Amino acid sequence: MVLGAQVLGPGHPAPAVRRRVSHGVEALRRDRARWLVLTGGVGAAGVSEASVMADLARRLGVPEHRLLLEEESTSTLAQAAAVARLARAGGWDRVVVVTDRYHLPRALFLFRRMGLTAGGDPARGPGGADRWRWLGGAVREVAAWGKVALQAASGGLRRAAEKARAE
């Protein structure tokens, strides 16, 4: 499964999305998964991250029947909970999470809290000017871990996991 990231508009994935989807497609080709699950709701661009990612995956040769879209989530916690519901409905409990290396530890923590057996496959880091955007994401990740700690302390993670299991 590939975690969403910023899209610039319909048909315009940002560099992080291109890296993540390309890596996910390669993992699919290596038979690491049966489906390519693409996550991400509607953001500032007015289109879901998952739909832009699916368009890119199709252009990279992924057939429609191998794509599963989750288009509601707007956070990593929401992605983990939504994928847990998809997994239970589909009768599977194992996922390989594709995202940027700096994001992977937190994503795996959250997916596992939702009751999934989660492994990681980090997308390759960017080159050129995109390195600064990647570094900014790594810095933001520190604050995101703080938010996870607050969610855990307040019982929010437990409630999200219970809800994902009940649906």
Give the domains, in start order, of the chain with CATH numbers: 15-166 (3.40.50.620)
Per-residue confidence band for 71, with pLDDT thresholds at 50, 70 and 90: very high
Non-local CB neighbours of 152 within 8 Å, separated by 6+ positions: 158
pLDDT at 95 over 60: yes
Task: Give the C-alpha separation, 20 to 92, whole Å.
Answer: 22
Nearest residue to 106 (alpha-carbon basis) of 22, 1, 11, 3: 3
Give the integer Cα–Cα distance in Å for 30 and 104: 20
What span, in angstroms and rounded, lies between the C-alpha atoms of 8 and 50? 13
Region 140-157: mean pLDDT is: 82
List Cβ neighbours of 75 (8 Å cut-off, separation of 6 or more). Answer: none
